[in-house]
A and B are shown apart, each in its own frame.
Chain A
Amino acid sequence: MSLNIRLVVNGRRHTAKINPATSLLDFLRDTLGYKGVKICCNTGECGACTILFNGKPVNSCVVLAADAAGAEIVTVEGLAEGDRLHPVQQAFIDTGAVQCGYCTPGFIISVKALLDRTKNPTAEEIEEAVSGNICRCTGYTKIVDAIQIAAERLQARS
């Protein structure tokens, strides 16, 4: 059985025919080619596949692609404006928070969502925002720096 869905990803409209058992992760990666959505645990535990679903961060591996019909999705590919990286992306580079970089897209989405909610996050709010994102390379320490710098730059901007 198949299902037709329409959705918007990073501002672009897509129409597709899907198998209703498909996860949103597989659909975004394999059908639409958004490889910035990373696959790792496939069980909702690591956050590598985090995307914004109508503005909210979710693990795309535990969401049905069918549920995205009519939704607006933002992946990490949708953050930069032309060649200009989003301040969160730039902060990850500047602080050395990108080692292998595999967790990075998921982290960036979680942090962007956090800074969309609050300009000046507390340590608890940061912990809440990224506890669902595992990084195996950095020990999180440089990511703490990245979040701080991103927040400062975004505040300075507004």
Chain B
Amino acid sequence: MDYFEPKTIREAVSLLARYGEKAKVIAGGTDVLVDMKFKEEPSCLVNIKRIPALSYIREDDGFLRVGTLTPIREIETSSLVRQKLPLLWEAAHQFASLQIRNTATIGGNVCRASPSGEMLAPLLVLEASAVARFSRGEKKLPFGELFLGPGQTLLGSKGLLTEIEIALPPERSGSVYLKHAVRGAMDIAMVGVAVLLTPDAGGKKAKDVRIGLGAVAPTPIRAKSAEKALRGKAMARAVVEEAARRAAADAKPITDHRASAEYRRWIVEALTRKGLAQAWKAATGKEVDR
């Protein structure tokens, strides 16, 4: 196995260009190392941890910028994130164990593109962008388009993720991330639901609603028909329930050894309902009308 510790982004990108499919980027290594032990060793390992200044959380003119090497634990303990992006905080807080959070990076979670990846549904509803470097230059890839399938992203084998760019949601919005797993945090999500809800000025209607679903399709997805059912509507119980049912229909889960497709749909419905109510409360301080 060839092994490199590039010191610059440019060096890393040229290694990826040179080795193509044969190269494997390693960041925290919590996914890569397990694969190396139980599946196969890549013929070339590109360890990007020695590239300086890729671990940061910065506020920048309406955006929060998170460096690709930022550990999940840094996100969880950042007061900036807690304050400005509680949704991301919640996902980080429910991410595996403390030990794993100290090691795993946000970039690794994004590039792994596991349908159950904890950060993905939240970033999807935040309409974040992945800032990536290719040998031809930098590209900004919106999360809505980034994921192609399990383990597959627009980065391909030659792109290097450098930053996640997140537009700060409106101040009066409310959000929540709900993870369902048998053991709680220390378990892979059977379903993850991220909700970001912005009420109208009167605090009666949902002006903008975004619902992201994890672990129920080959990629994290938005529950589009559920969102549509709510947009511009007064937040009443019946509307929320209808939206939750639609979210369940939007999901395309599979049956595997963790859960059946049917069960995952039930959970999508339950968590969407709960998530909408909680996000609404977070935004307006009010319960959803009966």
Contact = CB atoms under 8 A, between A and B. Distances in A.
Chain A complexes with chain B: yes
Interface residues of A, number: 28
Nearest to B45: A20
Interface stretch (B1-9, B80-88, B275-283): B1-9
Instruction: Specify the main secondary structure of chain A where it touches its partner.
Output: mixed
A44 B184 contact: no
A128 interface: yes
A103 to B, nearest CB: 13
B33 A64 contact: yes
Contact of A131 (B26, B33, B186): B186
Interface stretch (B98-106, B202-210, B222-230, B239-247): B98-106
Interface in A50-71: 50, 53, 56-59, 61-64, 66-67
B49 A110 contact: no
B33 A128 contact: no
Contact of B3 (A20, A44, A59, A131): A20
A95 interface: no
Identify which of A43, A44, A57, A61 gathers the most chain B CB atoms within 10 Å of its CB. Answer: A44
Contacts of B5: 66
Interface string A126-153: 0011011100000000000000000000
Contacts, number: 79
Interface in B27-47: 28-30, 33-34, 36-38, 41, 45, 47
Interface string A2-33: 01000000000000000011010000000000
A66 B3 CA distance: 10
Contact of B29 (A47, A63, A131, A133): A63
Output the residue of B2, B3, B38 with the most chain A CB within 10 A.
B3
Contacts of A20: 1, 3, 45, 47
Q: Is the interface of B mostly helix, strand, loop or mixed?
A: mixed
B96 interface: yes
Contact of B99 (A1, A21, A42, A47): A47
Contact of A21 (B45, B73, B184, B185): B45
Contacts of A1: 1-3
Contacts of B3: 1, 3, 20-21, 66
Contacts of A128: 98
Contacts of A44: 30, 34, 96-97, 99-100
A64 B29 contact: yes
A42 B99 CA distance: 14
Nearest to A67: B49
A64 to B, nearest CB: 5
Contacts of B28: 62
A61 B97 CA distance: 14
Interface string B89-133: 000000011111011000000000000000000000000000000
A42 B34 CA distance: 8
B99 A58 contact: yes
Contacts of B102: 53, 56-58
A110 B26 CA distance: 25
Contact of B186 (A21, A23, A132): A132
Given A3-B3, A20-B1, A64-B26, A47 B97 contact: yes
Contact of A57 (B38, B41, B96, B99): B99
A136 to B, nearest CB: 15
Contacts of A131: 97-98, 184-186
Interface of B: 1-3, 5, 26, 28-30, 33-34, 36-38, 41, 45, 47, 49, 73, 96-100, 102-103, 184-186
30 contacts: A1-B2, A1-B3, A20-B1, A20-B3, A20-B45, A20-B47, A21-B1, A44-B96, A44-B100, A53-B102, A56-B73, A56-B102, A57-B98, A57-B99, A57-B102, A59-B99, A59-B103, A62-B33, A62-B34, A64-B29, A66-B3, A66-B47, A110-B98, A110-B99, A131-B98, A131-B184, A131-B185, A132-B97, A132-B98, A132-B186
